[in-house]
């Protein structure tokens, strides 16, 4: 159901890393529910393709796109500035930007931790801080941090990726504690293996991994709770378990 009417302001969602996979599915479910959506991604061509699809799929819903490499603080701030220049209030922030680089702590290339922590943790930290002023005055908003089952337990070849996902869950816990009396909800989402571009060459049966829309539907369900309830942490795994 559309969440706005002609007499109401359009609701706004911001999704980092929003052109593919989980980010794309989440952006589209909010558009389908009546939100205008801001997305960023590193590749301008992906943003252009998303804009063309959006016009046909979600008439009447505005999509704002911004090319940004969220490994860099300045790019994160520039994306936040673009949001602030277009609207005065954000209802939903989805910190989805992230990368996975396999490796072991003892043998991964020098700089792996720095690259991963900048995009998997720092981008969420800086974007959240920049956009909270568009939530706090209204005592309303919902922040989703896309953590991982790697936030809960280390696994072979997880290396610095696992370290950063543990840290992102820690950020979510700290932010939840700060925001709970201010009307801002914080949800740490920890999905297991989900079909995306990173799995495109994997030889698994279609039902072995979750679908991106499964995660998007879960985000929407968590958002739809009453103001007196919040899903703090949510683990979603394939029915047959982790890979």
pLDDT for residue 70 is more than 90 = yes
- Which among 86, 100, 111 has a CA at the least distance from the CA of 17? 100
132 or 7: whose pLDDT is higher? Answer: 132
Q: How many angstroms from the chain centroid is the CA of residue 214?
A: 14
The 3-state DSSP composition of the chain as helix, strand, coil percent (nearest 5) reads 45, 15, 40
**Cα angle vertex 69, ends 25, 168, to 5°?**
65
> Looking at the predicted structure, is the pLDDT value of residue 5 above 60?
no
pLDDT band at 2 (very low <50, low <70, confident <90, very high): low
In the chain, % of residues over pLDDT 90: 83
pTM: 0.94
Q: How confident is the model at residue 20 (pLDDT cuts 50, 70, 90)?
A: very high
Long-range contacts of 105-109 (CB under 8 A, 24+ apart): 105/159, 105/160, 105/163, 108/159, 108/160
CATH of 12-236, one of 3.40.50.720, 3.40.50.300, 3.40.50.1100, 3.30.310.220: 3.40.50.720
Query: Quick one: residue 189, left, alpha or beta (phi over 0 = left, psi -120 to 50 = alpha)?
Result: beta
Confidence of residue 107 (pLDDT cuts 50, 70, 90): very high
How do residues 109-131 score in pLDDT, each as one tens digit?
999 999 999 999 999 999 999 99
Task: Look at residue 203 and tell me whether its pLDDT is greater than 70.
Answer: yes
Tokens 């995660």 correspond to what residue?
A: 215
Provide the 8-state DSSP code for 209. S
Do 151 and 119 form a contact (C-beta atoms < 8 A)? no
| Rounded-to-integer distance, Cα 128 and Cα 140, Å | 14
Quick one: pLDDT band at residue 243, thresholds 50, 70, 90? confident
CA distance linking residue 139 with residue 176, whole number of Å: 14
Kindly state the tokens that stand for 55.
Answer: 């016009």
Closest by CA to 153, choosing from 138, 135, 165, is 165
At 193, the pLDDT band (50, 70, 90 cuts) reads: confident
- Does the pLDDT of residue 1 top 50, yes or no? no
* Residue 197 in this model has a pLDDT that exceeds 80: no
Query: Which strand ranges, in their side-by-side order, compose the sheet holding 141-146?
Result: 63-67, 36-41, 12-16, 92-95, 141-146, 184-191, 233-236
What are the boundaries of each domain within the chain?
A: 12-236
Count of C-beta atoms within a 10 Å radius of residue 94: 30
């Amino acid at each position: 159901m559309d969440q706005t009417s002609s007499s109401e302001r359009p609701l706004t969602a911001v999704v980092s890393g929003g052109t593919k996979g989980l980010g794309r599915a989440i952006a589209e479910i909010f558009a389908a529910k009546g939100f205008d959506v801001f997305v960023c991604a590193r590749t301008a061509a992906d943003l252009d393709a998303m804009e063309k699809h959006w016009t046909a799929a979600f008439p009447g819903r505005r999509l704002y796109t911004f090319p940004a490499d969220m490994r860099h603080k300045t790019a994160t701030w520039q994306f936040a500035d673009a949001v602030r220049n277009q609207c005065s209030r954000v209802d939903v922030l989805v910190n989805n930007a992230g990368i996975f680089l396999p490796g072991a702590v003892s043998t991964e290339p020098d700089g792996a931790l720095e690259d991963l922590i900048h995009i998997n943790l720092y981008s969420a930290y800086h974007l959240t801080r920049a956009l909270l002023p568009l939530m706090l005055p209204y005592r309303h908003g919902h922040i989703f941090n896309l953590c991982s089952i790697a936030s809960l337990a280390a696994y072979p070849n997880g290396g610095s990726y696992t370290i950063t996902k543990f840290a992102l869950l820690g950020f979510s816990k700290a932010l939840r504690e700060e925001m709970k009396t201010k009307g801002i909800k914080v949800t740490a989402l920890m999905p297991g293996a989900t079909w995306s571009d990173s799995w495109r060459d994997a030889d698994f049966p279609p039902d072995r991994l979750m679908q991106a829309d499964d995660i998007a539907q879960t985000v929407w369900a968590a958002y739809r709770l009453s103001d007196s309830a919040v899903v703090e942490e949510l683990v979603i795994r394939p029915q047959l378990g982790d890979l």
